[in-house]
A and B are shown apart, each in its own frame.
Chain A
Amino acid sequence: MVITDRPRRKAAPTRPVEAWEYGPRIDLLEKVTGQAHYLDDIPDLPGTVYAWPIKSPYSHARVVSIDSSRAEALPGVLGVLHRDTLDGLDPGVRVGEYRGHTREHGETADQHFVTTDKARFDGDFLGIVVAEDLRTAQHAAELVDIDWEILPTVFSFAEAMAPGAPLIHEDLGTNLAHEDSFEWGDVEAGLAAADRIIDGAYYTGNVFHHPMEPSGGCLVNFTDEGVDLWFATNKPFSPADQIAEIFGIDPDRVRVRVPPLGGAFGSKKITPAIMGAMAMSRRIGRPVRLFATAEQSFRVTARHAALYRARAGVTNDGKLTALDVRLEVDTGAYFTGARLVTRNMCISSWGAYAIPNFRVRAQTAYTNKVPAASFRGTGKSQTTFGVEALMDRIARELNISPLQLRLQNVPLRGRYIADSWKVQGVEYPADTPPMDADLDRMLLMAAESIGWDGNAGGEGPMEIGARRVARGRGIALSLRHGAQGAGRAYAMATMYGDGTVKISHAAPDLGGGTYNMISTVAARSLGIPQEMVRVGEPDTGHDLHFEGSSAQRTTVQMGNAVLKACESLKRELADGASQIHGGDAQEWTVADGAVSRGSERYPYAGIVQAFAAAPSFEGVVSLKGLGAYSYAPSPDRAFGGLDHWAPGAAAAEVEVDLDTGETRLLQLAVVADVGKALHYGAARTQAEGGAVMGIGLSLFEDLVYEEEQLLNADPFQYRLPLMRDIPEAFDAMLIENGDGPGPFGSKGMSQTSLPATIPAVANAIYDAIGVQVTSVPFTPEKVLSAVRQQG
């Protein structure tokens, strides 16, 4: 539908850009012509056979018996693995998003390699069938006879924590999985000093990450030499320890290679089914291929559901004096990412505001849902919706403009959040940098972009044709810790005799342009054309560690590692020049594709060729440089070290149909502080992509658990945003001050627009109809119910 009364805007760069910043990404042609090799495009290895998983159709059911004899008798079937046919493997070995030494990290690793006692969610892994062809494997899986005892289910935090609730893990004696807390200042004193105390409760449901490429497939070859595993993951190093533990082999004998990914958002992780395929490859001595389907992907992982309850102390003129938050988190059937996600919710539940006294207490419960784990902006979409919806309630109750309330409470550049804080009751120095972004400017840019002065007061009710509608505008701010992550990032730059450079690394490209970023950094550092740089695919065989492409760390951490690898390569070139042409290495300048000293100038390739040509250096055909990067180790237990803040702002205008409750976006603007865009188009589409994902999460996406069953876990019933849902007036703006810790002043920015978009839409609906919808997504049913509440 054409919007005639709103500007049609094409987002444009806010500054002049160079060709290399805006030209085609290096991976563009391959991808748009279908030439890129994703996991399913990798050719079969000789002798490859096919696997099909056996999964629970029930959300909670005891496994009484498993009989696979009919399946095993089917011609073409090579074997069935389940709890009774494990070849001596320990079924109790844990698989999932754990960080190694679980006790030290306060984690309960409880998702077994193979389900032995009962299924705890719809999709729990019971075993796997391998056959000569995929269809036979699928048919054989249906012939595995399982006797079930159906058990009662719990599908919410409240149900799980109610007295007498069915226990998901009987051995624990409780459904409480985890607790966390974080605070600074004195909340009770802050609340006592307030003129008003305003509270709210905001619920965010479960959603699936829904990358275009399904999650959970692999190609694996288990031989006497070790394990060769190809799978689509954002963290290639993470599974090695778990694989080594299950199969009793040295982690060094596990080699993981990662093709380009069709999106991840936190869903591309090692799964019990992949372990099962590995076990079958080990048993039959042939490569095994496991295809992921859309329906199975929905059962790999999900975003945590959470209830954000808060009370805020404010003065009559709108200054926040305290914020007291309680979080009720639903982690699903297994612990998986409960510790990480609960902590991320705690450290983001204060939003983006200067609050002198803050406290959050979180409890996380098991339920019979698909186990939840990291999701783009882990924990932030839930808490940002909570705190930003509460800010709008405060603005309305104090009769202050929502924009003005935010402007007078954001921390200005240079301000520290706190001097110290308590994590789980223990005090630590607050080791975070001062605010390094202009949050006030971002808010003003977002508001201005939709032509809004920031004052509340929607338009309507009014009649447009046969429809009775109301319009409203809303704004929101998000703030995440910049590029969080564990360990150091390593990269290697290799220069060959033809002058080309290969970058070896372990940073999977999830689709956001990581390889392009790597080649850009290398080309600019070495002063050579980008087409002279080849970016390798992640391969743990190179032993170049990287935590993984997540937590928007890749540009800063891997980018810096590549930069340092290229600097190291330049030193190597200088050393080479001094050995070949004389003088000290310091006398040689390495830049713009050449090594020079005075009037002498040799192209890089000439140095490499000189080594290769020398009889005594026979075989030396490349020079290498190694680079590493991490931020400084920190004693802080809240953020665990932080090298920059990553804010986002969003402003939205919506139109609500007062008779149907349907919400339509008329305008959406997002602003990200990117430090420096290394590729303007890629950075802007990250901001746009996050905002589109935010539209889906705001208005449509929801995993529905009803009638003791997960009901809509397939692409036909799970509503995603469509092109028609994206407003024509859609603006994504980047702020570039060149002040980030990444290469050339860049920052992590890929998760900034999503968390801000959801509350911006929520607040726009509030502005339109005068009643808050307090549960995401804002479906027509919920909005209509709110409209009727208003009368």
Chain B
Amino acid sequence: MRFEEQIHVPASTEEVWAFLWQIQPVAACLPGCVSVREVEPERSYVARFEDKVGPYKVAFDMDVTVEERAPLSLVRLLCTGEDKKLRTSQRVTLEVRLHGDDTGTRLEAAADVVVLGVLATLGQFVVKRKAREVVEGFAENLRAALTEEELEGSHA
């Protein structure tokens, strides 16, 4: 399942890029993310997600690996994890591109989401709707956070 979202924030690419590497604020933008831990700076992280999909409560411990990093323009993450109790695994490739313009920065986020196992048998409609909610929520939260940060910055 591939999802694409675009947001525009009134912040420079440098500010956005710097924000993206602050893991706790970024984690706060991810719906369902309850904790995140840095394993190796700018290379490897572990995050826990808890949520509800259809009738199931899900809990994924995700290994997050930075696959590609081009300062100020691109970051690509591979996130893999499993809910053993639910016998479901998840693999997400998230790519975020930054494009600066006169009024701020446009972020293009593209996510390839693969859900395997019991959860997938719920029906692709349910799984797809949830994945879309997560990606859309992430984009919206990111936009809000960056806008708020910019506002706070401008007030300061």
Smallest distance from the beta carbon of B48 to chain A beta carbons, Å?
18
With an 8 A cutoff between CB atoms, is B124 at the interface? yes
Interface residues of B in 73-93 (CB under 8 A from A): 80, 82, 84-85, 87-89, 91
Chain B positions within 8 Å of A714 at CB level: 121
- Determine the residue in chain A with the shortest Cβ distance to B118: A57
Interface residues on A, range: 10 to 19
- Determine the residue in chain A with the shortest Cβ distance to B117: A57
Known: A57-B87, A150-B91. A711 touches B114 (CB 8 A): no
Q: Specify which of A145, A146, A150 is in contact with B116 (CB 8 Å cutoff).
A: A150
- Determine the residue in chain A with the shortest Cβ distance to B89: A150
Interface residues of A in 137-161 (CB under 8 A from B): 142, 145-146, 148, 150
Q: CB-CB contacts of A615-647 with B at 8 A, as 1s and 0s?
A: 000000000000000000000000000000000
With an 8 A cutoff between CB atoms, is B123 at the interface? yes
With an 8 A cutoff between CB atoms, is B134 at the interface? no
Q: Specify which of B85, B89, B123 is in contact with A711 (CB 8 Å cutoff).
A: B123
With an 8 A cutoff between CB atoms, is A224 at the interface? no
Chain A positions within 8 Å of B85 at CB level: 142
Q: A714 to B123, alpha carbons, bound, how many Å?
A: 10
Q: A142 to B118, alpha carbons, bound, how many Å?
A: 12
- Determine the residue in chain A with the shortest Cβ distance to B90: A150
With an 8 A cutoff between CB atoms, is A225 at the interface? no
Interface residues on B, range: 10 to 19
Q: Specify which of A142, A150, A711 is in contact with B120 (CB 8 Å cutoff).
A: A711
Interface residues of A in 5-28 (CB under 8 A from B): none
With an 8 A cutoff between CB atoms, is A35 at the interface? no
With an 8 A cutoff between CB atoms, is A599 at the interface? no
The reply to whether B124 and A711 contact each other, CB–CB distance below 8 Å, is yes
With an 8 A cutoff between CB atoms, is A30 at the interface? no
Chain A positions within 8 Å of B117 at CB level: 57-58, 709
Known: A57-B88, A58-B116. A148 touches B82 (CB 8 A): yes
With an 8 A cutoff between CB atoms, is A706 at the interface? yes
Chain B positions within 8 Å of A709 at CB level: 115-117, 120-121
The reply to whether A711 and B116 contact each other, CB–CB distance below 8 Å, is no
Interface residues of A in 708-731 (CB under 8 A from B): 708-714, 717
Q: Specify which of B89, B123, B124 is in contact with A58 (CB 8 Å cutoff).
A: B89
Chain B positions within 8 Å of A146 at CB level: 84
Chain A positions within 8 Å of B80 at CB level: 150
Q: A709 to B115, alpha carbons, bound, how many Å?
A: 8
With an 8 A cutoff between CB atoms, is A59 at the interface? yes
The reply to whether B114 and A707 contact each other, CB–CB distance below 8 Å, is yes
The reply to whether B115 and A707 contact each other, CB–CB distance below 8 Å, is yes
The reply to whether B120 and A707 contact each other, CB–CB distance below 8 Å, is yes
Smallest distance from the beta carbon of A694 to chain B beta carbons, Å?
27
Q: A59 to B120, alpha carbons, bound, how many Å?
A: 12
Chain B positions within 8 Å of A710 at CB level: 121
The reply to whether A717 and B120 contact each other, CB–CB distance below 8 Å, is no
Interface residues of A in 685-741 (CB under 8 A from B): 706-714, 717
- Determine the residue in chain A with the shortest Cβ distance to B85: A142
Known: A57-B117, A708-B116. A717 touches B123 (CB 8 A): yes
Chain A positions within 8 Å of B124 at CB level: 706-707, 711
With an 8 A cutoff between CB atoms, is B1 at the interface? yes
Q: Specify which of A148, A707, A712 is in contact with B1 (CB 8 Å cutoff).
A: A707
- Determine the residue in chain B with the shortest Cβ distance to A711: B124
Q: A711 to B128, alpha carbons, bound, how many Å?
A: 12
Q: A380 to B118, alpha carbons, bound, how many Å?
A: 34
The reply to whether B84 and A57 contact each other, CB–CB distance below 8 Å, is no
Q: Specify which of B1, B91, B114, B121 is in contact with A713 (CB 8 Å cutoff).
A: B121
Q: Give the one of A150, A712, A714 with max B CB within 10 A.
A: A150
Q: A713 to B84, alpha carbons, bound, how many Å?
A: 21
Known: A150-B89, A150-B91, A707-B1. A57 touches B123 (CB 8 A): no
Smallest distance from the beta carbon of A675 to chain B beta carbons, Å?
45
Q: A709 to B116, alpha carbons, bound, how many Å?
A: 6
Q: A604 to B11, alpha carbons, bound, how many Å?
A: 103
Q: A296 to B58, alpha carbons, bound, how many Å?
A: 23
Smallest distance from the beta carbon of A631 to chain B beta carbons, Å?
46
Smallest distance from the beta carbon of A127 to chain B beta carbons, Å?
14
Chain A positions within 8 Å of B120 at CB level: 707, 709, 711
- Determine the residue in chain B with the shortest Cβ distance to A298: B121
Q: A711 to B80, alpha carbons, bound, how many Å?
A: 20
Smallest distance from the beta carbon of A58 to chain B beta carbons, Å?
5
Q: Give the one of B87, B91, B114, B124 with max A CB within 10 A.
A: B87
Chain A positions within 8 Å of B114 at CB level: 707-708
Chain B positions within 8 Å of A712 at CB level: 123
Chain B positions within 8 Å of A713 at CB level: 121
Known: A58-B117, A706-B124. A145 touches B88 (CB 8 A): no
Show 30 residue pairs from A and B whose CB-CB distance is below 8 angstroms, ordered by the A residue: A57-B87, A57-B88, A57-B116, A58-B116, A59-B116, A142-B87, A145-B84, A146-B84, A148-B82, A148-B89, A150-B89, A150-B116, A295-B121, A706-B124, A707-B115, A707-B124, A708-B114, A708-B116, A709-B115, A709-B117, A709-B120, A709-B121, A710-B121, A711-B120, A711-B123, A711-B124, A712-B123, A713-B121, A714-B121, A717-B123
5 shortest interchain CB distances as A-B pairs = A57-B117, A57-B87, A709-B120, A57-B118, A58-B116
Interface residues of B (CB under 8 A from A): 1, 80, 82, 84-85, 87-89, 91, 114-118, 120-121, 123-124
Question: Given A142-B85, A150-B89, A707-B114, list of 4 further CB < 8 A pairs?
Answer: A58-B116, A142-B87, A709-B115, A709-B121
